[in-house]
Amino acid sequence: MEEYRDDIKSKLHYMDEILHKISFMSQAENEKQLDDMTPSILKSVGKYTAADRAYIFEWNSEKKEVLKIHLNGVHQELNHRYRICRKFCAGNQMCQ
């Protein structure tokens, strides 16, 4: 029961952290300031979800790009109209 309580406390802490960081985004004066805030928000989202990676994808309506993925031990290349524009990797994880 204590472990469950600690887990809930941790989740609430990270959710509060995410909301706090998002609220500061409205105070950004330019795109660079928003870009500077994004990695920190992704890190908090990764912690909240207990994920070792978090990504933001950007839609590109003009051209398709090759998306290289590793899924279930298989490397694949897919042509899509989106790309990874921001990412977070926990610890020493290698983001691809």
- Give tens-digit pLDDT for 42-96: 889 988 988 888 888 877 666 655 656 666 666 666 666 667 778 888 876 666 5
pLDDT of the residue at 23: 92
Contact between 40 and 85 under an 8 Å Cβ cutoff? The reply is no
Other Cβ atoms less than 10 A from the Cβ of 90: the count is: 14
Other Cβ atoms less than 10 A from the Cβ of 13: the count is: 13
Whole-model pTM? 0.63
State yes or no: pLDDT of 18 exceeds 80. yes
